Amino acid sequence: MIKLAIVDLDGTLAYTIPGMLKSINAVRRSVGCDEIDESRLFGSINNATPGFVKPLIEDTPLKDNLEEAMNRYFKTYNTCCIEGSIPYEGIKEAMQTLRDMGISVVVFSNKDNDRVNKITDTHFPGIFNESIGTGIYPGKPDPTGPLAIARKYGAQAYETVFIGDSEMDVITAKNSGMIRLNVTWGYRDRETLLQAGAQYLADKPEDIIRIVNEINNTQHKGDI
């Protein structure tokens, strides 16, 4: 039976592009460079902040000063991370249903910890057992964090479903030995997720509940 769901934030729980785009464009403007559009962000999203920022400043005078670029990024993002962000329709209800089923639900993101908690506290108050960003454990795809979370909540890897929208989440779940459940409404397309090795795909939030119930029924029969 599933005891724990570890859930990605960006692209899984909420559309969060506007604050990130505003912040990276503030960095670029500060050194006299043109702004970028959201399509340029997609290759960097799901990395920890250094890996997110670095490719987006490679054509700027800050390309060899990542620390300064990150400082400038956070100067804006600290105040606008909520701006324009919105939970996906039906996702709050799906997460609450998991809790009502007796499943612990923990957000685990490659975004910095303070901003993760600010976003979840704003959009999902009281829903999650806890929300964790970088700085607590190594970032995805390192399995250290997910396995530590599973131990904390008394779940084995095979009793844990890892829910995310990207190949990074697929790889993290694989590395952790956890069940891979990916959503198709986020920042990666269906084919990318399948190629990465997704086991289950949810096309809408209520599919998460259906899939978890299917997994529980299968596990109960001893098939996995």
Judged by DSSP in three states, 59 sits in coil
What separation in angstroms does the CA of 95 have from each of 108, 117, 217?
14, 16, 19
User: Is the pLDDT confidence value at 101 over 70?
Assistant: yes
pLDDT digits (tens, 9 = 90+) for 39-74: 898 878 888 889 999 999 999 999 999 999 999 999
| 105 in Cβ contact with 130 (< 8 Å) | no
pLDDT digits (tens, 9 = 90+) for 4-34: 999 999 999 999 999 999 999 999 999 999 9
Q: Ramachandran region of residue 156, left (φ > 0), alpha (ψ -120 to 50) or beta?
A: beta
User: Is the pLDDT confidence value at 224 over 70?
Assistant: no
Sign of the CA dihedral running 50, 19, 133, 74:
positive
Of the ranges 54-63, 144-153, 214-223, which one carries the lowest mean pLDDT score?
214-223
Judged by DSSP in three states, 133 sits in strand
User: Is the pLDDT confidence value at 222 over 50?
Assistant: no
User: Is the pLDDT confidence value at 223 over 60?
Assistant: no
